[in-house]
Amino acid sequence: MQTDLSKFFENIYTHLLSQISITDSENSEKFKNYLLWLDEYNQKINDDHTKGIIQGPISSKISAELFQLSLDKKILRLIDKLNLDINFTSYVDDYRFFSKRNSDLELIKHHLIKLFRQYELSFNDSKFQIYKGFEIQKQAHLDRYPVIKTLTKGHISQFSFEDYTALRETIINVLAESDIPTAKAILSMVKNQVKNKNVKFKDNKVVISLMLFLIKITYVKPILFMHIYKVISVAVSTAIPAVRHKIWSTLFAELDYIEDSFSDTDLEVWYFYALGKAGTSKETSKIFSAYKKKKKQTDLSVLVLTVLLKQHSKQIKELNYKLLVWQIVVQTQINTGQEFLNPNGGSLSQNFG
């Protein structure tokens, strides 16, 4: 049986986070303080609303995961109580239940609706489906696009404009059909081809055209960002210095848009990972300066800073100490639920830096 929750993030009541229990008595107080902090933080970034959490920020993903783990525990108890022969998996708002008996699935369906109603959550009725055997999986349809067979399986000593055009048109057609599995498969195969040096980039203009095209896809189809930035990363790793610098310049030009539109998302982290990988130590320092200029000191993402760290970058080295102190301050606040005051006024987290 497969189903998913309707508007999961929008319907999470933030105060429910602080009600999650923990069996580890030794760390229960710390965990409770953390949940209280998470409850308040979700409200602060959402205009003090207690209903719903914003999608995108890492904090929201952590909150949703913790909330779902508590729901999973309740489902397990429900299955035991009803003495049902059922196993299940969950990922964010998606649930799959497995049983040898349809009657068990029908029964758990009835009780799940009642259970989730207590938390003002509901399932998508149209997606509540019981399959005989495993549900039909969406598969890639590479056979429909023979024009890129050489690119995905052959050997190309120099990636040409014709190769770029073929790949570009194929991906456009695939996305027009909303065939995400095929798009992911194509990008994965291209990545492996580049990684194994079966496809080589030597023409600056063609490479830049490809990079720009791939980057723009992440803006309209964020679901593909990880596959795309993996392609970009391996292209950087295998490119000659001149091409590598061109890729870096192309990526760097997108920094403002990334921060304005995708701040605090996984896409942002992958972007900086590829950008940092493409840059020299001097260019990495330039990245950090631009990033710091766009953000407040307290808003700097630890994940972004981590992927930018390079031991031979003097400016990044100087940041390490501040970052370490900042992490200690934040972690202590999480553990104690207290704000540390700065002698100059305000909390240390507000005045740090």
pLDDT in tens, 79-110: 999 999 999 988 777 888 898 888 898 899 88
| DSSP-derived secondary structure for 168-228 | HHHHHHHHHTT-HHHHHHHHHHHHHHHHTTSB----HHHHHHHHHHHHHHHHH-GGGHHHH
pLDDT value of residue 229: 94
Whether the predicted pLDDT of 201 surpasses 90: no
The yes-or-no verdict on residue 57 having pLDDT over 80 is no
What local confidence, expressed as pLDDT, does residue 164 receive?
92
What pLDDT does 338 receive? 45
Domain spans in the chain, listed from the N-terminal domain onward: 2-123, 138-202, 207-329
Radius of gyration of the chain (CA): 24
Report which of 4, 178, 159, 13 is spatially closest to residue 91, judged by C-alpha positions: 4
**Most confident residue range from 4-8, 44-48, 253-257, 339-343:** 253-257
pLDDT higher than threshold 60 for residue 204: yes
Asked if residue 194 has pLDDT above 60, the reply is yes
pLDDT digits (tens, 9 = 90+) for 265-303: 889 989 999 998 898 888 988 998 899 888 876 678 877
Q: In this model, does residue 51 exceed pLDDT 50? A: yes
% of the chain surpassing 90 pLDDT: 26
Is pLDDT above 60 for 135? no
In angstroms, the CA 144 to CA 88 distance is 35
What is the architecture of the domain spanning 2-123? 2-Layer Sandwich (3.30)
- For residue 183, the model assigns a pLDDT of 93
Strand runs labelled E in the chain: 2-4, 86-91, 94-99
- Cβ distance 72 to 43 under 8 Å? no
Question: How high is the mean pLDDT of the chain?
Answer: 80
Alpha carbon distance 245, 236 (integer Å): 9
pLDDT(126) > 80: no
Average pLDDT over residues 322-327: 50
DSSP 85: -
What is the arrangement of strands in the sheet containing 94-99, beginning at the earlier edge strand? Answer: 2-4, 94-99, 86-91
Q: What is the pTM of this model?
A: 0.59
The mean per-residue pLDDT over the stretch 240-260 comes to 92
Task: Record the tokens describing residue 327, joined without a space.
Answer: 């992490």
